[in-house]
């Protein structure tokens, strides 16, 4: 019996070493690939349409741009009579919000109060004006909506918030 254990011991050690190696490789591979939620085209179109409608209900002609978690444009809607500058402004606000995972109005206010944060305006593509709002599933940012064209950033932001409230059941 004792001799059987001595004979099997090296085999068991090699088997355990192989198992640990495979387990470690599996863990490394699992950490290398991530799963993330992202913005569907259907959801992006719904958010853009609801945003433009919310502003139109208050008499404002705006453009709404919706981006995915990486800042790539998924949907754009421009109301009749919205100024041509609203296209670029809405896209930059959406990109800024998705990138920073924050409302652009809060970022603007923070930059005004903190001289070090004022350098955010030098990041290519960033626009620190109100109207960019992250789109979240729980605490995870899956994109953002940017609005341009109302007479104040607070109004742009409110239109976006109204739209996100309309689609909140889809953000679960």
Confidence of residue 34 (pLDDT cuts 50, 70, 90): confident
Domain count, the chain: 2
Strands of the sheet containing 140-148, edge to edge, are 73-78, 63-68, 140-148, 132-137
Shared-domain flag, residues 95 and 137: yes
Shared-domain flag, residues 22 and 99: no
Shared-domain flag, residues 4 and 52: no
Shared-domain flag, residues 159 and 99: yes
At residue 81, does pLDDT exceed 90?
yes
Shared-domain flag, residues 68 and 148: yes
Percent of the chain at pLDDT exceeding 70: 83
What pTM value is reported for the model? 0.81
DSSP, residue by residue, 45-93: HHHHHHHHHHHHHTT---EEEEEETTS-EEEEEE-TT--THHHHHHHHH
At 56-67, the pLDDT tens digits run: 999 999 999 999
Shared-domain flag, residues 11 and 83: no
Shared-domain flag, residues 69 and 133: yes
At residue 7, does pLDDT exceed 60?
no
Confidence of residue 127 (pLDDT cuts 50, 70, 90): very high
The CATH number for 160's domain is 3.30.450.150
Shared-domain flag, residues 57 and 92: yes
Domain that holds residue 14: 1-34
* Whole-angstrom distance, CA of residue 128 vs CA of residue 92: 9
């Amino acid at each position: 019996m004792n001799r059987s254990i001595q004979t099997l011991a090296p085999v068991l050690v090699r088997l355990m070493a192989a198992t640990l190696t495979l387990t470690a490789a599996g863990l490394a591979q699992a950490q290398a690939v991530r799963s993330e939620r992202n913005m569907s085209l259907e959801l992006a179109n719904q958010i853009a349409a609801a945003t433009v409608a919310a502003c139109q209900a208050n008499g404002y002609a705006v453009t709404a741009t919706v981006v995915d978690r990486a800042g790539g444009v998924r949907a754009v809607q421009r109301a009749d009579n919205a100024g041509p500058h609203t296209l670029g402004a809405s896209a930059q606000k959406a990109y800024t919000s998705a990138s920073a995972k924050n409302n652009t109005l809060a970022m603007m206010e923070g930059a005004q109060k903190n001289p070090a944060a004022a350098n955010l305006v030098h990041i290519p593509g960033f626009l620190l004006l109100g109207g960019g709002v992250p789109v979240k599933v729980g605490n995870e940012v899956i994109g953002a909506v940017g609005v341009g064209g109302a007479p104040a950033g607070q109004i742009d932001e409110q239109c976006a918030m109204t739209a996100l409230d309309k689609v909140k059941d889809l953000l679960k």
